[in-house]
Structure 1
Amino acid sequence: MVGHVTAPAAALLDSLPSWATLVRAPNAGPMTLDGTNTWLLRAPGSDAGYVVVDPGPLDEGHLQAVAAHGPVESILITHGHFDHTEGVPRLAELTGAPVLDFDGTFEAGGLTVQAIDTPGHTGDSVCYVVNDEAVLSGDTILGRGTTIVAWPDGDLGSYLASLDTLRRLGALPVLPGHGPPLANCAAAAVYYRNHREARLEQVRSAVAAGAEEPIDVVRTVYADVDEVLWPAAEATVRAQLAYLKERDRP
Structure 2
Amino acid sequence: MTPWSGGAFPPRADCLLAPNPGVMTLDGTNTWVLREPSSAGQARAVVVDPGPIENGHLDRLVEETGEVGLVLVTHHHFDHSEVAAAFAEAKGCAVRALDPAYCLGAEPVVDGEELDVDGLRLRVVTTPGHTADSISLVLPAQKALLSGDMVLGRGTTVVAHPDGQLGPYFDSIEKMRALVAAGEVEAIWPAHGPVLDDAGAVLDHYLVHRRERLGQVEAALRELGEPLTPELAEDETLPRRVVEVVYADVDQAVWFAAEMSVRAQLAYLAGAG
Structure 1, residues 34-66: CA drift from partner, whole Å, max 9, x if none?
000000000111643111000000136222222
What pairs with 1:151-166 in structure 2 (closer than 5 Å)?
Answer: 151-166=161-176
**SS of residue in 1 equivalent to 2:124:** strand
Partner of 2:12: 19
Partner of 1:177: 191
Q: Decide which of 128, 135, 153 is 1:126's aligned counterpart.
A: 135
Structure 1, residues 19-43: CA drift from partner, whole Å, max 9, x if none?
0101000000001000000000001
Structure 1, residues 57-96: CA drift from partner, whole Å, max 9, x if none?
0136222222223111110010000110011122123212
- Structure with more of its chain in helix, by fraction: 2
Q: What is the Cα deviation at residue 224 of structure 1?
A: 2.0
Q: Decide which of 213, 219, 240 is 2:265's aligned counterpart.
A: 240
**SS of residue in 2 equivalent to 1:168:** helix
What pairs with 1:1-250 in structure 2 (closer than 5 Å)?
Answer: 15-45=8-38, 47-59=42-54, 61-67=56-62, 68-100=64-96, 101-103=108-110, 104-132=113-141, 133-170=143-180, 171-210=185-224, 213-247=238-272, 249=273
**SS of residue in 2 equivalent to 1:228:** helix
Q: Which runs of 5+ in 2 are unaligned?
A: 97-107, 227-237
Q: What is the Cα deviation at residue 110 of structure 1?
A: 2.0
Deviates more, 1:63-72 or 1:233-242: 63-72
Q: Which runs of 5+ in 1 are unaligned?
A: 1-10
Q: Distance in 1 between matches of 2:260 and 2:205?
A: 21
Q: Distance in 1 between matches of 2:203 and 2:5?
A: 14
**SS of residue in 2 equivalent to 1:231:** helix
TM-score, normalised to structure 2, is: 0.82
Percentage of pairs with the same residue: 47
CA RMSD of aligned residues (A): 1.8
Structure 1, residues 122-152: CA drift from partner, whole Å, max 9, x if none?
0000000012521100000000001100000
Deviates more, 1:59-68 or 1:177-186: 59-68
Structure with the bigger RCO (C-alpha within 8 Å, sep 6+) is 1
**SS of residue in 1 equivalent to 2:224:** coil
Q: For residue 115 of structure 1, what is the amino acid of its counterpart?
A: V
- C-alpha change, 1:75 and 1:60, in structure 2 (3 Å) is farther
Q: For residue 131 of structure 1, what is the amino acid of its counterpart?
A: P
**SS of residue in 2 equivalent to 1:164:** helix
Structure 1, residues 149-169: CA drift from partner, whole Å, max 9, x if none?
000000001101100111112
**Deviation beyond 4 Å, 4+ runs, structure 1:** 11-15
- C-alpha change, 1:76 and 1:13, in structure 2 (3 Å) is farther
8 Å contact from structure 1 (residues 148, 236) kept in 2 = yes
Q: What is the Cα deviation at residue 14 of structure 1?
A: 8.0
- C-alpha change, 1:112 and 1:13, in structure 2 (3 Å) is farther
Give the total of aligned pairs: 238
Larger Rg: 2
Q: For residue 167 of structure 1, what is the amino acid of its counterpart?
A: R
